[in-house]
Structure 1
């Protein structure tokens, strides 16, 4: 098969992954696909086009326009500034979620807030979310989440499903990928392979919410 050109979304995705130092398997895992999904998309052209939700998640992760990964570039036009009622204040909590061996949560008081427009939340599928922002501590979710990143947690999503979640185990607050480990059990998975999976009983685990967005310094 002919190699993709630099203007091709497949090549752009490959370049972005190389620049950020993240594997295609890790990115596939992040969007909830099998580990070879993006490898096949780039090397074999299957699928021919990324699904919109996958494309938006990847574009958001890399901080690039959706159009660079195959989305339709919208014609820019003047947009009225949001009114006061069109903003949502998301509290930033004085608590870290460990992406390492585990950290004891010392408090959950808000010390500040992020402001998001309701339109932005709707565009990212978060219109009905109950959001709070906390900081990642440690490197077990590297490179998807790095030490010092701030994450938005939707506490309306507290069921056991695949995805990255903030969980409490005893007094320890952690950010991990969750997976079912059989009836009544869950696996806590790290992105950094230096950290082995941890299997626990669901009765011992409190799912605080699903991680739906991240911010961090480049």
Structure 2
């Protein structure tokens, strides 16, 4: 086997490892690149394309906070490694926001973190967001959100309609928030097996809006 083939295989293995550690699917990463959902799956499993295009490789390296060289860039083809201040840590909170019958929240203490480049966050329109990562549990938001998906919640966005993390008592839920009658809100599941919940506004605390998701293939 040629040396180039070994190097290509190492790049594919490294991408698969990074995706696994970050709990983000290859389909989600492909969508981030503006590609079809099977683009990176074919790259990893079939070696097609043989090498990532420069723009795709750069975005992936920035997303994972790694040197482009691990994804196949030549050492003299990119600038020196970014400084720590070029990256932002997004804390992972052990809240297990429920997308089903509800789960009780633990103390909001970060047990881990994702690192994202400021440039990538700016491209995603999230540069000014106050982000926390929470793992979804349950099936009430399927197929939009699946159990095990990691969601990013912007705590700066608590008003208006959209998909939000909502606290009801001690339980957290991921729901589509709709305005109802004056002083009331309706919480709607994507899964039609779960009926809507209508509450007085003071009974539901909006934690933040879901602005990004990632998960396994």
**Residue matched to 1:7:** none
Give 1 or 2: higher helix fraction: 2
**Residue matched to 2:177:** 178
Q: Name the CA distance, whole Å, in 2 between partners of 1:209 and 1:179.
A: 14
User: What is the aligned-residue RMSD (CA, Å)?
Assistant: 2.2
Shift of 1:106: 2.3
TM-score by length of 1: 0.66
**Residue matched to 1:16:** none
Give 1 or 2: higher strand fraction: 1
Q: Name the CA distance, whole Å, in 2 between partners of 1:157 and 1:86.
A: 24
Q: Name the CA distance, whole Å, in 2 between partners of 1:127 and 1:111.
A: 23
Tell me whether 1:95 sits opposite 2:79 in the alignment.
Answer: no
2:34 to 61, 66, 73: 66
**Residue matched to 1:167:** 166
Number of aligned residue pairs: give it: 155
> C-alpha deviations, 1:105-141, integer Å up to 9, x for none?
1221111100000001000000100001111010000
Distance of aligned partners of 1:154 and 1:179 in 2 relative to their CA distance in 1, 3 Å threshold: same
Q: Name the SS of the counterpart of 1:110 in structure 2.
A: coil
Q: Which runs of 5+ in 2 are unaligned?
A: 1-26, 38-52, 59-76
Shift of 1:94: 1.2
Distance of aligned partners of 1:205 and 1:62 in 2 relative to their CA distance in 1, 3 Å threshold: farther
Q: Name the CA distance, whole Å, in 2 between partners of 1:154 and 1:192.
A: 23
Q: Name the CA distance, whole Å, in 2 between partners of 1:146 and 1:62.
A: 18
Q: Name the SS of the counterpart of 1:186 in structure 2.
A: strand
Shift of 1:198: 0.5
**Residue matched to 1:39:** none
**Residue matched to 1:140:** 140
**Residue matched to 1:198:** 197
Q: Which runs of 5+ in 1 are unaligned?
A: 1-58
Q: Name the SS of the counterpart of 2:202 in structure 1.
A: helix
With 75-84 and 174-183 compared, the bigger mean Cα shift is at 75-84
CA contact (8 A) 2:28 2:214 kept: no
Distance of aligned partners of 1:139 and 1:68 in 2 relative to their CA distance in 1, 3 Å threshold: closer
Q: Name the SS of the counterpart of 1:122 in structure 2.
A: helix
Q: Name the CA distance, whole Å, in 1 between partners of 2:78 and 2:177.
A: 39
**Residue matched to 2:187:** 188
The structure that has the greater radius of gyration is 2
Q: Name the SS of the counterpart of 1:173 in structure 2.
A: strand
Distance of aligned partners of 1:106 and 1:122 in 2 relative to their CA distance in 1, 3 Å threshold: same
Distance of aligned partners of 1:103 and 1:64 in 2 relative to their CA distance in 1, 3 Å threshold: same
CA contact (8 A) 2:140 2:189 kept: yes
Shift of 1:66: 1.9
What pairs up with 1:36-55 in 2 under 5 angstroms? none
